[in-house]
């Protein structure tokens, strides 16, 4: 997850570099001429002056260093394999407080970044805006993961509901739920998940749903109802027919007296049904 702790946003060198790259992308997206590029970087200088004032403000300096000190303490507890259960619980609770504090601390910086982007975008002419289209910041790895997760969940859900590729959908759902379970398992000694609906011990709803999906993998319910028997039922029926033919041929070959190979004579049966008795 990029910059989950806000370290890039709370360091002046990193945020200046990020804003410079953003202005460069905007200038290239709208194909600014020399005059427009100079005006765009003049707007960047104004925002950098805002950063210089914000980062040297005494109150902001104290808040920033307080956040960094508390973050180091939380990270030390999270990385310590010998930390006790109550220490991990306190660290998890403190992490939630730090997330809220980080959002408040970076609100002014994010607002200034949005204003800078608006001022630079306003330098483009209508012809340039129509030719280039709306500007979209580059996607991060987190954006790609979110998109894959969203479309993957939709595909797995539709497959299970419609009975389409049922076993594959169930297997994908089991793998996904297993990853969710292992990301924050309800095991003794570990802090409880902050988004859990209740208090669990080893078994939670993700584990139960994973086992249910695994059951659907090994039980051929998708061949009984759904789109799979309609679209691919001919394959299943042909396989059953071929298996039945193989069994019939095998049965015939093991009883040569009953319609076996050519030239074999049937054993005469008596009226009582026993061979050789008249």
Does 273 map to a domain?
no
User: What pLDDT is stored for residue 259 in this prediction?
Assistant: 46
Q: Which of 223, 239, 261 delimits the end of a domain?
A: 223
Residue 189 is assigned to a structural domain of this protein: yes
pLDDT band for position 256 (cuts 50, 70, 90): low
- Residue 267 falls inside a structural domain: no
More confident residue, 94 or 188: 94
- The 10s digit of each residue's pLDDT in 60-83 is 999 999 999 999 999 998 888 788
Residue 240 falls inside a structural domain: no
| Measured distance CA(246)–CA(240) in Å, rounded | 10
Same structural domain for residues 158 and 115? no
Q: Which of 60, 55, 48 is nearest to 116 (CA)?
A: 48
How much of the chain, in percent, has pLDDT values that exceed 70? 81
Residue 163's pLDDT is what?
Answer: 87
In this structure, the answer to whether residues 113 and 201 fall within a common structural domain is no
Whether 147 and 58 map to the same domain: the answer is: no
pLDDT band at 184 (very low <50, low <70, confident <90, very high): confident
Grade residue 226 by pLDDT with cuts at 50, 70 and 90. Answer: confident
- 181 in the same domain as 149: yes
Listed residues 97, 118, 136: the one ending a domain: 136
Q: What is the mean pLDDT of residues 151-161?
A: 93
Contacts of 85 (CB under 8 A, 6+ apart): 188, 189, 190, 191
pLDDT of residue 117: 94
Lowest mean pLDDT among 11-15, 211-215, 260-264: 260-264
Contact between residue 242 and residue 234 where contact means Cβ atoms under 8 Å apart: no
29-33, 138-142, 197-201, 252-256 — most confident range = 29-33
pLDDT at res. 49: 96
Whether residue 148 is found in the same domain as residue 162: yes
Looking at the structure, do residues 181 and 211 belong to the same domain, yes or no? Answer: yes
Q: Please check whether residue 238 lies inside any domain of the structure.
A: no
- Residue 93: pLDDT over 90: no
Domain region containing 196 = 142-223
Q: In this predicted model, which residue has the larger pLDDT, 190 or 94? A: 94
The confidence score (pLDDT) of residue 151 equals: 95
pTM: 0.63
Give the least confident one: 23-27, 120-124, 225-229.
225-229
Residue 240 has pLDDT above 90, yes or no: no
Domain identity same for 126 and 49? yes
pLDDT surpasses 70 at 223? yes
Judge if 115 and 165 occupy the same domain: no
Task: Confirm whether 103 is domain-assigned.
Answer: yes
Point out the domain boundary residue: 109, 136, 163: 136
Q: Is 268 part of any domain?
A: no
| Counted domains in the chain | 2
Most confident of 31-35, 140-144, 162-166, 274-278: 31-35
Does 166 share its domain with 218? Answer: yes
pLDDT of residue 248: 56
Is there a single domain that holds both residue 169 and residue 184? Answer: yes
Ranking 41-50, 216-225, 231-240, 243-252 by mean pLDDT, the lowest is 243-252
On whether both 118 and 212 belong to a single domain, the answer is no
Q: Are residues 44 and 95 in the same domain?
A: yes
In this model, does residue 270 exceed pLDDT 50? no
139 — pLDDT class (breaks 50, 70, 90): confident
- Position 276 in a domain: no
């Amino acid at each position: 997850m990029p910059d989950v702790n806000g370290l890039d946003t709370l360091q002046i060198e990193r945020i200046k570099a990020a804003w410079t790259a953003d202005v460069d992308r905007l200038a290239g997206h709208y194909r600014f001429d020399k005059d427009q590029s100079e005006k765009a970087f003049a707007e960047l200088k104004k925002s950098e002056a805002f950063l210089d004032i914000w980062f040297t403000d005494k109150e902001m300096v104290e808040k920033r260093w307080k956040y960094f000190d508390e973050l180091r303490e939380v990270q030390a507890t999270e990385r310590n394999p010998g930390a006790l259960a109550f220490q991990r619980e306190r660290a998890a609770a403190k992490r939630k407080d730090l997330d809220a504090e980080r959002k408040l601390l970076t609100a002014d910086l994010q607002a200034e970044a949005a204003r800078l982007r608006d001022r630079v975008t306003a330098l483009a002419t209508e012809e340039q805006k129509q030719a280039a289209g709306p500007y979209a910041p580059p996607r991060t790895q987190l954006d790609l993961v979110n998109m894959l997760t969203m479309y993957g969940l939709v595909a797995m859900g539709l497959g299970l509901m419609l009975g389409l590729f049922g076993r594959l959908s169930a297997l994908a759902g089991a793998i996904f739920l297993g990853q969710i379970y292992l990301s924050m398992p309800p095991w003794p000694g570990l802090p409880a998940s902050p988004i859990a609906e209740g208090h669990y011990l080893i078994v939670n709803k993700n584990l139960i749903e994973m086992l249910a999906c695994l059951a659907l993998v090994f039980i051929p319910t998708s061949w009984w109802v759904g789109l799979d028997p309609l679209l691919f039922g001919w394959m299943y029926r042909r396989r059953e027919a071929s298996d039945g033919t193989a069994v019939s041929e095998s049965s015939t070959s093991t009883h040569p007296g009953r319609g076996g190979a050519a030239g074999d004579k049937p054993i005469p049966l008596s009226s009582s049904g026993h061979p050789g008795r008249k």
